[in-house]
A and B are shown apart, each in its own frame.
Chain A
């Protein structure tokens, strides 16, 4: 199974900050990497797929990069509605493993 490791597990940031979350795969997943946002009590929502493609309707302050084993989700100018937990997921092989999540909290 491919293991997905996110860092950090949590972070505190202020509105307007630039935030970067990293995700590392235990083997190459080429660019089959997706990012999700989940707010408390809600279902996850896809933000980025294929490592860097923005899902329709997602604000452009979200961006993704990377290939192979190392990937990054960047939020430029953090907004109040961005405080949530973010998960990466590989769609290269089954099982479709998720990272453990990164909780973005208000500083």
Chain B
């Protein structure tokens, strides 16, 4: 079964750090681009970060640039999001999502999502 499972969420104080993990199974992880998407309570979806299949190309939303770091370990079929300098506005469910590309050289939809992990930033 194709699956993504996030872990690492929790309660952290403002200014603190957390590392989220996403374990992939059921597909060739190293062949796919991956993303993190978050959703604040009662709000819409916000794209956070992208990493290419090899890990050489990375993008961030302006809201997290300089504070968050995306990485992957292909032999371990794992995706990570290191979050530093956390703020109250980072409180959200964080999803990892696999990206598929229906057209070579173009980005595509996020076709597989994890169940999400909740991050709460509060004192």
Contacts and interface: CB of A to CB of B under 8 A. Distances in A.
Interface of A: 32, 34, 36, 38, 43-46, 49-50, 53, 55, 87, 89, 91-92, 94-101
Interface size grouping (class) on chain B: 20 to 34
21 contacts: A32-B106, A34-B108, A34-B109, A36-B45, A43-B115, A44-B113, A49-B111, A55-B109, A87-B44, A89-B47, A91-B107, A94-B50, A94-B59, A95-B47, A95-B62, A96-B47, A96-B107, A97-B47, A98-B46, A99-B44, A101-B44
Contacts of A98: 44-47
A101 to B, nearest CB: 5
A49 B47 CA distance: 17
A7 to B, nearest CB: 14
B92 to A, nearest CB: 13
A91 B50 CA distance: 12
